[in-house]
Each structure stands twice: as structure tokens, then as C-alpha cells.
Amino acid sequence: MPDLLIELFSEEIPAQMQRRAAEDLQKLVTDGLVTAGLTYAHAVSFSTPRRLTLALEGMLAASPAVVEDRKGPKADAPEKAIEGFLRGAGVTRDQLETRETPKGDVLFARIEKPGRPAAEIIAEVLEQTIRNFPWPKSMRWGDGALKWVRPLHSIIALITTEEGAEVVPMTVDGITAGRATQGHRFMAPGQITVSGFEDYEAKLKRAYVVLNPADRAETIWHDGTNLAFAQGLEVVEDQGLLAEVSGLVEWPVTLMGPIADDFLGLPPEVLQTSMREHQKFFSVKNPKTNRIEKFITVANRETADEGATILAGNEKVLSARLADAKFFWENDLRVAKADMNQWVQDLENVTFHSKLGTQAELIERMAVLARELAPLVGADPDEAEEAARLAKADLSSEMVYEFPELQGLMGSYYAKAAGKSDAVANAAKEHYAPLGPSDDVPTAPVSVAVALAEKIDKLTGFWAIDEKPTGSKDPYALRRAALGVIRILVENDLGLALDRFIDSQLVRNKGMAVPELDNGPIEEFVREIAEHGVFGAAFRTVMDRHEAGTTATAIRNIGEQVPDKSKNLLSFLHDRLKVYLRDQGVRHDIIDACIAMEGNDDLTLLVKRARALSETLNTDDGENLIQGFKRANNILSQAEEADGVEYSYGADVRFAETDEERALFHALDAAEAKITPAMARQDFTTAMSAMAALRAPIDAFFDAVQVNADNGTVRRNRLNLLSRIRSICTSVADLTKVEG
Amino acid sequence: MSQTTAAPRSFQAIILALQSYWASKGCAILQPYDMEVGAGTFHPATTLRSLGSRPWTAAYVQPSRRPTDGRYGENPNRLQHYYQYQVLIKPSPPDLQDLYLGSLEAIGIDMDLHDIRFVEDDWESPTLGAWGLGWEVWCDGMEVSQFTYFQQVGGHDCHPVSGELTYGLERLAMYVLGVDHVMDMPFNDPDAPIPLTYADVFKQTEEEYARWNFDTANTDVLLRQFEEAEAHCKAILDQPATDPKTGKRIIMAHPAYDQCIKASHMFNLLDARGVISVTERQAYIGRVRALAKMCADAFVDTRAGGRTEDAA
């Protein structure tokens, strides 16, 4: 069976696009061939900076012939309709066949599609592929109309069989497919002609091109680690960089060079970032000192001087880059040591969001909130406030301007240099965390206070101005912020009722948009919220005090919107919590049953309740209890509806007629005696196992007892008994929400 | 390729080598545009001539000004006034990469010892409403040129596509000459009767302009000049196509474009004075882009812009 070799040879393809492009080439071509009936046994694709290559093995030499029966009009249809069918099917009248069908005699055409030779199909499919290639960005060149990622120079499309190789006859925008390509741009200039994939790969290698990017990556890593190892050093692993560098070279030559002593005092993250971002160098670390002392660069060629000139040039460029970094570092240190607050002041000129004020105002809100949160997370309020004020100061530093990805981290270095406490310094680098679902959450109390304040302020701020995430759009990463709040609280086991902080921070953020309100009335409002614990009473108190005038109007405008937004934000947090718990195997209906309970703004409590309920329901007793509970609840609800009363009180064991009924009375008394104190100390496990113990008596009760007895007193007593089941069970969680 | 050239020993020797190389490849060697521009791309020989269907080939040195980059002549690499070498060929020839590599050899870079790489870098000029795809060219890890295939200029699709090469001359020359601080670079031959360094020529002006750009340029005047240039540009383009005096069809695309360049430079100066806020910035850039687009619209309606003459 024939094999196929395709190569699309162009000017340098961006490294980041190569891998995907090779996959796309393989998919588009093979899909096209298979659709046309040309199957194959095996396909591989490769990329280098200048080429995309696809090789197929065991391809059919031609697509199989296909016979199709096409149904036409009825035999007695008008002549015009029949003629139209003949034209469409490409057959003549005498080739039609009349068949009986339930609808009468119908004409059928038997269309034989002969198989087509592979070359013909490949030419079509490859041209389509080239013309519709899904490059993230593509371009035209010269006076042509074809689009490719960079100018396309040549095409190999070669079918090989035991008899020899045959070029697929095709031309795309003036480029005629052939069997020639080029080797390394500098080390082996000129054309090479190939006869098939093996020959192609071997000749490329002789022409200093390693076709397989995985091989290039392996060479780079292998040679790099060897160079480092020989000097007792190790290469800092960086898979992203390795993939990128593999896409920048056809013939990787790994070279290691020193970092001048001048720069060894820079923080390792600065060295690493500068070298990676600007120069695409790997960092080489001394495992003894943990310092980055050398770099590894990957050249695209061998030279007579064994890379000496190349290495010297790279060292020089690196020195210039690091001189910049050192300049930033030293300038920043000077400012930080003098007064880091200068940076915060500079942020007065930087807009955070047009409706939420400047970065400096954001920091002010964060600082106030961090102070309020501090006692609840075990942090010192003064330290938390100071940490929050300084956490974003580094946004004004020169280093972060140059390397935005170092934000927070630089702040930590600068805060330490400025003599701040470790807690304050660490909060700068930790307050952005967690950045993703697998990122660590901060655990140090001051960091926790600042990280929570940052996220709660962000959420309330964007809620205040109605910029919530919709569908796939979440430009301010608010889902991530919400998950951050959840994880920080839950994973640190911090019980904290969020409601009042959400209300306060909404008031502060809404206040931003009202120029006639200064901080006075806003903070007065916030104090009242803290005082009353509930928003409504605080709002009324403030309104009573201001009765009339512009301040009153402004406060009213803010206050009226807070309850809705607060509720909405809390339910957003609950939605994110469902996602978080679902990933841990807790069902959404279980979470709903817990959200329906009081105190659902304490997420840690909510999670504990949900986990305990989930565990209980996973037991046999728990699962059956739900059935019993539902049965009790259904009978009760129906009776309540029919009778127009609520059965809630007065079940008396004296009216019990059967042992099972009496047993249930006792079981409920016993359960209640355990559940009430357990709930008071938030011991959900005990409460729920006590609840689950009701399963047997409830089942026995329903087996033996007819609730709707003829005797009205007995019936009422039994309904009141069911009501005890409902009230005891729903004191633990709203079991009506549980499915099953 | 001329292998006989002796290794250049001065800044000007590199410029001369580039001039004679590109002349030998058939480029029209133009002179710098006589206005303040931020980059060689602003020269009408690039911006306007990359539009329309007429073939074009030109190379020139362009003094360029970036007021915010001024460092009083103290930074080894940053200058508020520097030189770019610019090549524009339309349509881009299929061997443009090889032609470019030849120019590096012409200034003394030995291809057998150095590592030359084409690293993705897409070019966009928000003020010119222009973009293209290409690379920054690295020599041993150092960016020595920008290489761009223009796709759009002034909001117009480029048909055919121009290939644009831009060399940052100081940086390239420092690399070739092995100089670490731009001010130490020999400007003319070090053995000349009166040898001059880059500092001899430009140190004082860097100081003067840095002070003026950052601290003393009168922002009221700059702002007024920006607005005048903007209004002037529009007024020029509002003129009827037919010149009442000669009766000829004369669309004044170039004079209008001069005003666009002026507005752009005034914006750069205002920016350096720090009087433009982040939000205003976008608005100013948008205003300059609107001018550039109007000039491009006008130019494509001229002979040089590819307009085929009316039968009348």
C-alpha cells in the first residue's frame, strides 16, 4: 500500500503555533481523505520553525467504487421533472429502473461512482487544507492572495509505493508541489530532493534539521542538564520554555554561560523572569546556595569556534538586560527604604476602574476591611491594615512595571527591605492567592485578612456597579475571586459570617460613585451595620439621623440597593461553592438543603453541614431516613392542605395506640435530646447520626400505623407526631430539598 | 554579496555599508524626511507608498524622536533622538529574508559564527491604523532588526504586500563595533584627523532635549499645535480635488499627511511631559489615527496611490 509525505515549507512559524499547526494539518488532511474514501493505517505529523510535515502509511491507492441508488420522481411524473432528475443524477433515461413502492411506481437511478486515484483526492484535500488553514493569525505576501502564517515557499506532496515515488500534481497560488525542500538555513543551504518519508527524515538530519520537536526538546534538556551537572549545578525546569525553544531551532546546540557577579544579588525570580521573558534562557541553579548562577541558551547552529562568539554575544545582551533589572531593583529599594507609602500615593493617579476609583482608593477600602476582618481570622488589626496598605504598593515600582508577573513578590522583597514585619511582607506576595483551583491558599493570619479583603472588596465593587460575570465572560476574574474567598475560609477552617462584611463593603463601594458623600456618612453607616448586625436596622438608624437633605437622599439611594445586591452576591458565592463541593463529590441537592438553613453566610459552617449530611446520606440508615422523612412530610403536607391548619404542636404519647407509635415518641425524644445540644455546638456529625437513628422507628411506624385514622383525636395526634419528625429533621438541614 | 568590505570601524561606516548594499539591490536611496517623526515608518516613502498597487522600492536613514526615551545621554542604550534604517519593497520579493541576511554580512556580521534567528513579533501601529506580521531578528540573542509584512496601513488592506525592514542603527552598530555605551561609539573613522564619538555629536543635544521634553516644553503651546495640526490636516483634505488655478486634479495627500505627522509628534511631546492621562491617551491616539486614515484615503485616490487616470 502507498505512503504519503506532505511538507509545507515556509518562512519562520511562530514557536507557540507550531505544535497546534502540525496537529491541525494531520486532522484536516486525514479527515478529508477519509471522507473521500481514502483510508490509511497510520499518520504522524511534525513541525520545525520552517515546516509542517505529515506522513501517512498504508494508504489506499484509490478510493473504492461506490454504487448509489438514488430515488427519483414517480414513473408517471411530468417529463420535465424526470429530465431534471436525469440531469441531477448524471444518467440517461434507459439507465432508470422502475420499482414498485407503497406510493406507486417510482423511478430509481443506479449511480456508479468509480473509485478515484489517491493523487486526485490528495490534491483536492491538500489545497482545501492550505486555503482554509486555522492559523490564529495569517497573512498575505508579495502580490499573491494566498494566506499563510508567513510566506509559504514550497510544497512536498509525494506518494510512494514499492515501484517508486509520484508527485501529486497540484498547484496552489503558483506554488507547484514537488519533492524538494531545504535543510538548515545556514548550515546546509540549498535544495534537497527526497523519495519518501524515511529518505526525507534522514536527508534532513544530514542537512542539520531534526524533524521531531520532541527529539529537539529531549536534546536540549539532555545536553543542558549535562552541562549543568558537570559543574555541580542544575537546570531549573521550565516545560513551557522548553517547548517554545524547541520551536525556535532546527538544530539545537545548547550553550551554558555565566551570569556576571554584579547580578547575583538580584532576587532569583527576577533573574529567572528576565532571562526567560527577554532572552528565552534557562536558569541554572547552584543546589548548595539555591542561587541562580548561570544560564543556558540554545543556539540554532554549530560554529567553528564551538559557539564562543554566540555565547559571548548572548552574555553581553544578558548583561545589558540585567543591568536594567539591577537599576530597577536598586532604585526600587531606595524608594522602599525611604517610604513605601510614596508608591501608594503614586497610585492615586492610576485608575482601577472608572466607576470604582483609583488604585489608591481601592487600597484604602481594602485596608479598612482587612482591619475589620483581622480579629476574626486571628490577625493583629494594625498589622493587617498596614499589610493591606502596602500589599499593592509595588505596582508603582519600576520592576513590576517591567515584569508585571512579579507583582506581589517584589512587594514582599521591598517590604522586608523597608524593615516591615515578616507577616506584613509576606502578605504582599500572598494576598493575590489563590490564583487557581490548585494554587495554595494563604494560611498566615495577616495574609488571610488581606487576601480576603482584596477579594471581598473586588466582588462587592463589581457587584455595586453591576459588572457581574455573564456566561463565559468574566473579564475581572470574579469567579476566581469568589472561589478564593471560599477556599481561604474553608481550608483554614475559619467560621466567619460574611453577610455584614458584604453589606459594609457594598456601602463603601456604592459610596464611591456619589461625589457629594464624603467618608463620614459612609463610615457612620458601616459602623451601624456592625453595631446592629443586620442591615435593615442599621439603614433605618442612619436614615432617622439624617432625615432630610442631600446626604439623606444619597444614603437612601445607596442603602436601598444594598439588600438585593448583597443577596445576589451571596447566592453567587453559593453557586461557586456548589462547584467547589461538587468536585469533592458532594451533591448539589445536599448543598441546597444546607444553604436553606440559617447562617448560610458562614461558608465554613455550610461546608461542614453539607459534608456531614453527605456522609449521613451515604449510609444505609441515612438513605432510608430520607424516604421515611419524605413520606411523613407528604402525608403531613397533604393533611395540612386538606384541613387548612398547620400541625405543629401537641403530639401526646398518651393518645398513642400501638407500640410502634409509642416507640417513635421515645425515639424522637431521644433524638431531640442529642440533636439540640449538638446543633448548639455545631457538631453536625453527632446531630446527623442521631437523626439517622430515627430511620428504624419511622419505618416501623409506617409499617404498622395508619396515620389517617377514623378517630379524629388519634389522627390529629399522629399528624402532630409527623410534624415532630419534620421539625427535628429540618433543624439539621432542609431535607425537603434532598432528592431521592 | 561583497565579501571584500573591510569590517566597519565607525557608526557611519555601517550606515554607508547599508546604503551601498541596498543600492546594489536596486533600492532607491532616499534621504530622511524633513520632519520630526517617531520612527522610520512615518516617512511618507513607507506609510503612503505602501498603499496602492504601484511597485515601490526604497531605503533610507530616518532620524527618529521618542521624547519619553530620553535619559540625558546617560543610559548606554536609550536616546530620545536616534537613527533607524528603513527598507520598503513592494511587492515583497520571495527572497526578502535572504536579501536581509545579505545586508548583515555587508556590515561585517559573519554568518558562520553568529546565530541568527527570526523570532515572532507582530507589528502594530495604533497611530497609523497599521499592522503586519513578521519577526524581530535576533543575532546571538540580541534584537537587531524588525522584519514586517504589511497587511494594513491607514485602515487600507495592502495589495500588494510590502516587506519592511527596520534596523535600529545605534544598537546594531554598537553590537557590530563591540561598544557597550552608545556615547563611546566612534561616529567617524577613529583614525580620522578629527575623530568624533557619538558623544561628541549628540551628548549635549540629548541633555538639552531631555530637559526640554520632560520639564520645560510649554504644554499649552504643544496642545494648541496639536489641535491646529489636526484642524489643518482636515482642512487640506476638504479642498476639492480639482485645483481651481491649474484646472488639474491635485489631491494634497502629502501636505495633509505632514500635518498628521506633526500632530503625532506633538502628542509624543505631551506624553513625555506627563500631562496625558491613561484614558486620554487612547483618545489622542484615536485622533491621530483618524488623520492617518484620511490621508491614506486621499493618497489611494492619487496617481502614486495607484489610481488609474480617468479617461477624461
Amino acid, res. A521: P
pLDDT digits (tens, 9 = 90+) for B20-32: 999 999 999 999 9
Model confidence at B153, pLDDT cuts 50, 70, 90, reads very high
- Dihedral, CA of residue B12, residue B17, residue B23 and residue B29, to nearest 10: -10
Q: For B146, which DSSP code?
A: E
pLDDT of res. A516: 67
Mean pLDDT per 10-residue interval, chain A, length 740 residues? 96 96 98 95 97 97 89 86 86 84 86 90 97 96 96 98 94 96 96 96 98 97 97 96 96 96 92 92 94 96 95 91 89 93 87 83 93 95 96 92 91 95 96 90 96 95 90 88 96 92 87 71 81 80 76 80 90 93 90 90 92 89 87 89 84 87 91 91 89 90 87 88 89 86
Subunit contact A141:B118, Cβ cutoff 8 A: no
Residue with cell 444505609: A620
pLDDT digits (tens, 9 = 90+) for A655-682: 888 899 899 999 999 999 999 999 888 8
Residue B54 is placed in which grid cell?
504601484
How far is CA A287 from each of CA A233, A261, A322, A373, rounded to the nearest angstrom? 6, 17, 22, 41
* A363-392: b (≥16 Cβ within 10 Å) or e: bbbbbbbbbbbbebbebbeebbbbbbbbbb
Subunit contact A317:B91, Cβ cutoff 8 A: no
Distance between CA atoms of B92 and B96, rounded to whole angstroms?
A: 7
Subunit contact A137:B116, Cβ cutoff 8 A: no
Q: How many CB atoms lie under 10 A from the CB of residue A106?
A: 18
Q: Does B93 touch chain A (CB under 8 A)?
A: yes
Closest chain A C-alpha to B152 CA, distance in angstroms: 10
For chain B, domains (ranges, CATH) are 11-211 (3.30.930.10), 218-299 (1.20.58.180)
**Pair A430, A451: CB distance under 8 Å:** yes
Residue A497 is placed in which grid cell?
459570617
Name which of B112, B115, B160 is nearest A142 (Cβ-Cβ): B160
Distance between CA atoms of A343 and A349, rounded to whole angstroms?
A: 11
Distance between CA atoms of A71 and A86, rounded to whole angstroms?
A: 11
Closest chain B C-alpha to A320 CA, distance in angstroms: 9
Contacts of A199 (CB under 8 A, 6+ apart): none
Closest chain A C-alpha to B170 CA, distance in angstroms: 14
Domain spanning A603-737, CATH class: mainly alpha
Chain B CA closest to residue A11 = B97
Question: Which residues in A have their CB inside 8 Å of a CB on B?
Answer: 11-12, 14-16, 49, 137-143, 149-151, 153, 186, 248-249, 279, 281, 297, 299-301, 303-305, 309-310, 312-314, 316-318, 320, 323, 349-351, 354
* Strands, sheet with A234-235, edge to edge from the N-terminal-most edge strand: A234-235, A282-286, A291-299, A253-258
Subunit contact B149:A318, Cβ cutoff 8 A: no
Predicted complex ipTM: 0.93
| H-state helical runs in A300-347 | 308-339, 341-346
Q: Which of the two residues, A519 and B137, has the higher pLDDT score?
A: B137
Distance between CA atoms of A616 and A733, rounded to whole angstroms?
A: 12
Q: Does B77 touch chain A (CB under 8 A)?
A: yes
Amino acid, res. A491: E
Subunit contact A141:B161, Cβ cutoff 8 A: yes
Name which of A137, A301, A349 is nearest B115 (Cβ-Cβ): A301
The domains of chain A are located at: 3-62+117-206, 67-113, 213-338, 349-584, 603-737
Contacts of A304 in chain B (CB under 8 A): 112-113
Residue of A141, A250, A302, A396 to mutate when probing chain B, most B C-beta within 10 A:
A141
Q: Does B132 touch chain A (CB under 8 A)?
A: yes
Examine the pLDDT at B166 and tell me if it is beyond 60. yes
Subunit contact A303:B163, Cβ cutoff 8 A: no
Distance between CA atoms of B212 and B214, rounded to whole angstroms?
A: 6
Q: How many CB atoms lie under 10 A from the CB of residue B167?
A: 27
Closest chain B C-alpha to A239 CA, distance in angstroms: 19
pLDDT of res. A90: 82
What is the tally of helices (H) and strands (E) in chain A? 27, 18
3-state secondary structure B73-110: CCCCCCCCEEEEEEEEEECCCCCHHHHHHHHHHHCCCC
The pairing of beta strand B28-29 with beta strand B56-65: parallel
Examine the pLDDT at B222 and tell me if it is beyond 60. yes
Name which of A279, A299, A351 is nearest B278 (Cβ-Cβ): A351
Examine the pLDDT at B311 and tell me if it is beyond 60. no
Contacts of A713 (CB under 8 A, 6+ apart): A655
To the nearest 5 percent, what fractions of chain A are helix, strand and coil?
A: 55, 15, 30
Model confidence at B279, pLDDT cuts 50, 70, 90, reads low
pLDDT of res. B1: 42
Subunit contact B120:A49, Cβ cutoff 8 A: no
Cα-trace Rg, chain A: 37
pLDDT of res. B278: 65
Chain A CA closest to residue B56 = A142
Closest chain A C-alpha to B153 CA, distance in angstroms: 14
3-state secondary structure A612-642: HHHHHHCCHHHHHHHHHHHHHHHHHHHHHHH
Subunit contact A137:B122, Cβ cutoff 8 A: yes
